[in-house]
Structure 1
Amino acid sequence: MTTTNQERPLAVLVGVQLPGVDDVEHAADLAELGRLVHTLGFDVIATVSQRRSALAAAAVLGEGKLKELAELTGGSGVVPSGAPERKNKARARRAAESGEDDEDGELDGDDGEDDEDDEDDEDGAAASGAGGAGQAARQATVVAVDHDISPSQARNLERATGAQVLDRAGVIIEIFHRHARSREAKLEVEIARLNYVAPRLRETGGGGDRQRGGIGGKGAGESALELDRRKIRDRIAELKQELASVQREQSTRRALRQGQRRVALVGYTNAGKSSLMRALTGSEVLVADKLFATLDTTVRALHPEVRPRILVSDTVGFIKKLPHDLVASFRSTLDEALEASLLLYVADASDPTFRDQLGVTRSVLSEIGANEVPSRLLLNKVDRLSADERDALRLEFPEATLLSAKTPADVAALRESIIGFFEGSMVEAELLLPYAKQSLIGEIYENARVLSEEYGDDGGRLAVRAHPAALDRLRSLLAR
């Protein structure tokens, strides 16, 4: 969005504290949702929260909280009686037999639960302070729900509030859609977005007319809604074919880097991976204090360069409740981590929830088998901590490296640590370079450290130090 800060649209956060979720975790989840919504371009003016045993099947919240939410958006707080015909027929029949007024029957899938917990959350609709008094007269146009909700729940919330409703998955997918830059990332996000949209399509006011159509039109007995869904399926199939072609090119590039020394920075979104990437490589990668600033894998050489070169990769960040379609779509992006020689887990030590965030990162990487790759833990942003807090972290994580990407001494120490890791796995060997294959001398210097060179009648004898995999590759090239 290109609006100014004063014109930024307003949003309200909605969260349900389920059993097993403590107050700290619930508050952290809502705070993270607030940052996601802010990244999307909205100012959060309030949060509506409720303790419940489960999400209300009708509209996530109970009746009382739903009305509180509607006061912030200008809605009625109830689903209009003229809403689509999706009543619970058994319930309606029971109400008719008993002579009761079935006022809740218009809510899709209403579970009929009493709103018994409405009074439990004393700050359920407290203003966040982001908007201030100047925004008091304005109403929110977006409701962001910190859960994955069904299409019917979203529809009911929209009818009750008069605002656009996005669940957590929808917010994340929209952020990915706006931030994707490379062709591969754009294709991956578009596939996830269409998979998200398809089940949420609605029949338009024209009704579900069914008719026979010609080529490209409706099929026999196919409604307009079914036609739209078929078009989405066809589009997804096209995108997957195009993505497969792009990924083959990426696989070729990765194959060319096979045998090289590679480090991948992995971690939660906004943990400081891109800042470390810039400090380690001297490259002008995007650094921004917002979630999912990086969606495309960037590969640069460690700077100052060493021989053989060490490549550093900055990967997409992770987040709790990441939509499964996005995890699947970005599988090829995560392959960079799977094929690395060393993983550097980056965590924001100044965030009190970083332990949970680290667990999310390890869980996602475990899904693709990257948990077998050698790794080291980096606790970043320690410049924001007190000396006592840093000492406590050293006791809790004795194997971790505490650092700040803004401190040159810390970055230099990390660089030496990375070099030391690869030095430990290198071995010395001798390579015979025939005069007929002098063109390979650059390849040797690129993938090994040349200790000495001697030339005789049959060619050059090079004493080198390199990784075993790189040596095997060089020997196979010389033997051809």
Structure 2
Amino acid sequence: MSKSSSPRPLAVLVGVQLPGVSDTEHAADLAELGRLVHTLGYEVVATVSQRREGVAAGTVLGTGKLKELASLTGGRGIVTSGAQERKSKARERWEAEAEETDEVAAEAEGPGEEPEAETDAEAEAEADEARVEARPTVVVVDHELSPSQLSNLERATGAQVLDRTGVIVDIFHRHARSREAKMQVEIARLNYLAPRMRESTGSRERQQGRGSGDSAVELDRRKIRDRLAELREGLAAIQQDQDQRRYARRDQLRVALVGYTNAGKSSLMRALTGSEVLVADQLFATLDTTVRALQPETRPRVLVSDTVGFIQKLPHDLVASFRSTLDEALEASLLLYVVDASDPTWEAQLEVTRSVLREIGAQSVPSRLLFNKADRLSAEAREALLQRHPEALVLSAHSPQDVAALRQTVIEFFEGSMVEADLVIPYARQARIGEVYEHARVLSEAFDESGRRLKVRALPAAMARLTRAFET
């Protein structure tokens, strides 16, 4: 028996190139969709693309392209009602009599014919099975589908149909690790699934007892609303705790790594802080915000946070759900825009990052541009990037020299904002000396009859608090 050569389920990508979208942009969108689908666990074996003035209201594609897609999946290529064909009793009797006649005719044939016929039938059955196994069982569309489009495509292709939003939501669902991230993703997932729920064939239309008169889907949607309310209440409590922790860090120097998914933020996070964060060559490997101190530690200490990656057409519900996570960027002192310099569409990816940060109000936070994965660039390409963006750093997270240069850039940024002052700490208050070392850099130290005299450098706000704390 023939077996599929791939352990992964097979998938077909579908995209519509709309007016104003160049061939390069369209190809990049489909390539990115392919990476998303691969991250979800499927193998892409074909792509169906069409230029149109707009996405077809019923089936996304035109009639001809829909049949081309169906030929790959084994579907009929037309949208049927999905209802079973109803037969009259007379027709049923006629078909039964015809089957009996065929059986009698088969028994009348010579026994010498039977083995050959059986062998041919088995061979044909195996061939049919091999063809069915080799067919893609999943169709992934590079657009957000309405419930009717989803249903129509499934009936026309005979395959499971996913849209871009559904794929991203599923990836987030699989990669969420912390309780907060899981709750955020479940909210987005339920918001996505609720309008797409349909009555299954043969499902009960009426419920017995309380709630009689409601369909199964209506009851399921009510359960989803109740679950969403429960999740939002639990998430609000977690976010209140997160807000308190962020408030406690308000006086510390904070850097946030932001950028497109798979740009190398987690690799830079590990290199800058020595933390064992997850590093994987896949989209949305990191969903949980991690905060660690810059290593070797500085005085005052610099905290670095890794944030969730962005992507084109990021579902709005996910942006809303991860608002508290993105607040790390909003409240940071410095944003490091991480760009995959080896990706030919890095300019579009950078614009996506800026667009999301504008959406949450973080566009005014001071920033530095980092072109990561420079080890994959030629010398000419590296020079071209610097000519276009002379203020940027071109580096590789795997190069200790590049990471050291980035660390120095971060330190110099904060140094430029610091001011110097003299503090006198009375001997009676020596127990609070740790506050000074936590929020300022001590340049010199001396002792006299009034107490410990320190010359320190700190940010203006921290210096004002320290001055007030030790006023005599």
Report the TM-score range of the alignment, normalised by the length of the smaller protein: 0.7 to 0.9
In 1, the alpha carbon distance for the partners of 2:277 and 2:206 equals: 53
CA contact (8 A) 1:269 1:316 kept: yes
Deviation at 1:76, TM superposition (A): 1.9
1:203 corresponds to 2:203: no
CA deviation vs aligned residue, 1:274-303 (integer Å, no higher than 9, x gap): 111111111111111111111111111111
* Secondary structure of the corresponding residue to residue 178 of structure 1: helix
In 2, the alpha carbon distance for the partners of 1:136 and 1:471 equals: 72
* Secondary structure of the corresponding residue to residue 404 of structure 1: coil
Of 158, 177, 183, 1:181 maps to 177
* Secondary structure of the corresponding residue to residue 365 of structure 1: helix
Point out the more displaced range, 183-192 or 456-465.
Answer: 456-465
Please list, as runs of the form range in 1=range in 2, the aligned pairs for 1:43-442 lying within 5 A after superposition: 43-83=43-83, 138-206=134-202, 209-210=205-206, 213-214=209-210, 218=211, 221-442=213-434
CA contact (8 A) 1:208 1:225 kept: no
CA contact (8 A) 2:77 2:156 kept: yes
Q: Name 1:20's counterpart in structure 2.
A: 20
CA contact (8 A) 1:261 1:341 kept: yes
Deviation at 1:477, TM superposition (A): 4.7
Going from structure 1 to structure 2, the CA distance change for 1:384 and 1:400 (only over 3 Å counts) comes to same
Same amino acid, percent of matched pairs: 72
Deviation at 1:209, TM superposition (A): 3.6
In 1, the alpha carbon distance for the partners of 2:81 and 2:331 equals: 57
Deviation at 1:41, TM superposition (A): 0.6
Of 436, 446, 451, 1:444 maps to 436
In 2, the alpha carbon distance for the partners of 1:135 and 1:401 equals: 52
Deviation at 1:388, TM superposition (A): 1.4
Q: Name 2:124's counterpart in structure 1.
A: none
CA contact (8 A) 1:382 1:403 kept: yes
Q: List gaps (5 residues or longer) in structure 2.
A: 85-129
CA deviation vs aligned residue, 1:40-97 (integer Å, no higher than 9, x gap): 011101101111111111111112211221222222222234349xxxxxxxxxxxxx
In 2, the alpha carbon distance for the partners of 1:5 and 1:298 equals: 40
In 2, the alpha carbon distance for the partners of 1:440 and 1:365 equals: 39
Q: Calculate the TM-score normalised by the size of structure 1.
A: 0.84
Deviation at 1:450, TM superposition (A): 1.4
Going from structure 1 to structure 2, the CA distance change for 1:362 and 1:152 (only over 3 Å counts) comes to same
CA contact (8 A) 2:82 2:155 kept: no
* Secondary structure of the corresponding residue to residue 371 of structure 1: coil
Deviation at 1:327, TM superposition (A): 0.5
In 2, the alpha carbon distance for the partners of 1:453 and 1:160 equals: 79
CA deviation vs aligned residue, 1:195-219 (integer Å, no higher than 9, x gap): 00000011233567456843xxx2x
CA deviation vs aligned residue, 1:283-325 (integer Å, no higher than 9, x gap): 1111111111111111111111111111111111100000000
In 1, the alpha carbon distance for the partners of 2:134 and 2:141 equals: 20
Going from structure 1 to structure 2, the CA distance change for 1:355 and 1:83 (only over 3 Å counts) comes to farther
In 1, the alpha carbon distance for the partners of 2:390 and 2:253 equals: 26
Deviation at 1:447, TM superposition (A): 1.2
In 2, the alpha carbon distance for the partners of 1:387 and 1:453 equals: 48
The alignment covers a number of residue pairs equal to 424
Deviation at 1:176, TM superposition (A): 0.3
In 2, the alpha carbon distance for the partners of 1:479 and 1:139 equals: 78
The structure that is helix-richer by fraction is 2
Going from structure 1 to structure 2, the CA distance change for 1:207 and 1:243 (only over 3 Å counts) comes to same
CA deviation vs aligned residue, 1:377-434 (integer Å, no higher than 9, x gap): 1111122111111121111112211111112111111111111111111111223334
In 1, the alpha carbon distance for the partners of 2:24 and 2:148 equals: 30
CA contact (8 A) 2:340 2:373 kept: yes
Larger Rg belongs to: 2
Deviation at 1:452, TM superposition (A): 2.6
Deviation at 1:224, TM superposition (A): 2.1
Point out the more displaced range, 417-426 or 469-478.
Answer: 469-478
In 2, the alpha carbon distance for the partners of 1:350 and 1:207 equals: 52
Q: Name 2:464's counterpart in structure 1.
A: 472
Q: Which residue identity does 2:39 align to in structure 1?
A: T
In 2, the alpha carbon distance for the partners of 1:458 and 1:406 equals: 51
In 2, the alpha carbon distance for the partners of 1:283 and 1:390 equals: 29
CA contact (8 A) 1:349 1:379 kept: yes
CA contact (8 A) 1:259 1:473 kept: no
Going from structure 1 to structure 2, the CA distance change for 1:463 and 1:410 (only over 3 Å counts) comes to same
Deviation at 1:473, TM superposition (A): 3.5
* Secondary structure of the corresponding residue to residue 173 of structure 2: helix
Q: Which residue identity does 1:175 align to in structure 2?
A: I
CA contact (8 A) 1:212 1:222 kept: no
In 1, the alpha carbon distance for the partners of 2:256 and 2:132 equals: 46
* Secondary structure of the corresponding residue to residue 6 of structure 1: coil
